[in-house]
Chain A
């Protein structure tokens, strides 16, 4: 999958600026995803491509619209050196997989990356480098695999 690379401290005001929060549908809101940092992102991003950040991805406001617009555009996995905690919870609860990779800064815009879940490895096909992936705890995995918290709880009950 192709890498979309962002830096440190990507805050939720950058992921979805507050002036768009009133748009009536997620589809309309999603057209402005990451607009301050990459004005063409929503138009150019193809579902399934890999979002990569530096430290503290998703910091700032608790707005759940931030992970939701990403999910709306087809983001399934986000990789970063670290995530802000509310964003982390929101992603898990929406069924977006987060991978903390200390070496995420070595991935660059346009790199081709493969995630080998079976062997817990991340392979950068462009640089031929391999990274160990810290597996997600079973509790979080169950929520993500159910498609989010709501569905997890529904199935559980």
Chain B
């Protein structure tokens, strides 16, 4: 009866004793969210089904985070549609301009270990760091869950990444996940569950773990789950979620994995994904000195307080290089406030950064530092597809916040270990 964490969570929610990879199960969903861009589509699909009432208003969360404050007349109209629906259905879990969905969900206590959480956004995989099964779905499917609270899922085989070794200075969880994506390539984990375990994962803060789970979708994975330890329990306790409110699942020692890959983090160096693919991964030294025009620190990958601290530590008492642009977008209002209290925002402003409101920002590619033709940027977010952040001939390198900070100071891609 040995199972992995992912299999155990799916089995419990399907009311089965045991599930095996390949099996299709219908599961009860614990929590769902949708954001401002796809919300209107879900609402439309919901009405098209002729439905009147959502299955459980407490379990539905709306988060306006992509086009906030509204970036166009159409965005304004979308906002009105969502508000009208939320009022009609009496949905109280409603956030607008308070931060990125993938930060709001764990930060505001909507995520618990052992749950199934789905969202209409591919980076919903982020919450796996808290020991739940979470993944992205389409808008038709979301409308269906709003009505029934259920979804079909195919039980995925699991690939395990056993992470060992001591973290070297200047190397972060972002460098690890970029390295892993480089190994597996953009489709290496398609339809598969991924599980990250080992002492090097447990050494990380919850913030740093969220960065890893966030990016598993860039190698096609269905989820990126991690074991629950005292750090996760403390994170939840700070949000008034006691241990009695959730179930912790652990993979059995003899659970079947499709593949087990051991990664020694002590051998990692600062890493980047080069244009134009998240899997064009290489050690930073290969592109060191590449001239850049802009830096971006933010997104659901790396816009958390720890990320801002790491960047601020490098930018303190320094200026960004002449003619350089640096955009900082904190991942949530709470992070923004914390950064203000700690003096981090002042450091960014004094260095010459533009600090925006808490939202998806440049990562969505429509506002917040959109790149012009042939501009080169180094960014802390998760995607560098051609044209994703602006002109199709712009170029984007993905890296840790520390690497972005070091690079904007020098005007070229720079190893953060220098600072």
Q: Is B357 an interface residue (CB 8 A)?
A: no
Among the listed B152, B190, B387, which residue makes an inter-chain contact with A82, where contact means beta carbons less than 8 Å apart?
A: B190
Known: A89-B138, A153-B49. A63 touches B38 (CB 8 A): yes
Whether the Cβ atoms of A36 and B392 lie closer than 8 Å is yes
CB closest chain-A residue, reference B189: A85
Among the listed B137, B144, B392, which residue makes an inter-chain contact with A62, where contact means beta carbons less than 8 Å apart?
A: B137
CB closest chain-B residue, reference A153: B144
- The total number of A-B Cβ pairs within 8 Å is 104
Q: Is A31 an interface residue (CB 8 A)?
A: no
* B residues in contact with A63, CB < 8 Å: 37-38
Among the listed A36, A56, A154, which residue makes an inter-chain contact with B220, where contact means beta carbons less than 8 Å apart?
A: A56
Interface string of B61-87 (1 = CB under 8 A from A): 000000000001011001000000000
Stretch from A8-16, A43-51, A102-110, A122-130 that touches the partner: A8-16
Whether the Cβ atoms of B186 and A149 lie closer than 8 Å is no
Known: A22-B72, A22-B74, A22-B78. A11 touches B385 (CB 8 A): yes
Q: Is B2 an interface residue (CB 8 A)?
A: no
Bound-state CA distance A60–B72 (Å) is: 24
Measured CB to CB, the closest approach of chain A to B189, in angstroms, equals 10
Known: A61-B122, A93-B141. A150 touches B45 (CB 8 A): yes
* B residues in contact with A117, CB < 8 Å: none
Bound-state CA distance A109–B120 (Å) is: 33
Interface string of B114-151 (1 = CB under 8 A from A): 00000011101000000000001111110110000000
* B residues in contact with A36, CB < 8 Å: 386-387, 392
* B348-377 residues at the A interface, CB under 8 angstroms: 364-366
Q: Is the interface of B mostly helix, strand, loop or mixed?
A: loop
Whether the Cβ atoms of A148 and B140 lie closer than 8 Å is yes
Among the listed A14, A62, A82, which residue makes an inter-chain contact with B121, where contact means beta carbons less than 8 Å apart?
A: A62
The count of chain B contact residues (Cβ–Cβ below 8 Å) is: 40
Bound-state CA distance A60–B140 (Å) is: 18
Whether the Cβ atoms of B190 and A60 lie closer than 8 Å is no
Bound-state CA distance A19–B124 (Å) is: 22
Chain A interface size range: 35 or more
* B residues in contact with A55, CB < 8 Å: 186-187
Whether the Cβ atoms of B388 and A56 lie closer than 8 Å is no
Q: Is A145 an interface residue (CB 8 A)?
A: no
* B residues in contact with A67, CB < 8 Å: 138
Q: Is A40 an interface residue (CB 8 A)?
A: no
Q: Is A3 an interface residue (CB 8 A)?
A: no
* A residues in contact with B138, CB < 8 Å: 62, 64, 67, 86, 89-90, 93
Whether the Cβ atoms of B140 and A94 lie closer than 8 Å is yes
Whether the Cβ atoms of A18 and B364 lie closer than 8 Å is yes
Bound-state CA distance A21–B121 (Å) is: 14
Whether the Cβ atoms of B385 and A19 lie closer than 8 Å is no
* A residues in contact with B37, CB < 8 Å: 21, 63
Known: A18-B365, A22-B78, A150-B49. A89 touches B141 (CB 8 A): yes
7 A/B residue pairs, CB under 8 Å, sorted by A:
A9-B187, A14-B385, A18-B365, A36-B387, A64-B41, A64-B140, A85-B220
Binding site for A on B (CB under 8 A): 24, 37-38, 41, 45, 48-49, 72, 74-75, 78, 120-122, 124, 136-141, 143-144, 152, 186-187, 190-191, 220, 222, 277, 364-366, 383, 385-388, 392
Binding site for B on A (CB under 8 A): 8-9, 11, 13-14, 17-19, 21-24, 36, 55-56, 59-65, 67, 82-86, 88-90, 93-94, 137, 139, 148-150, 153-154
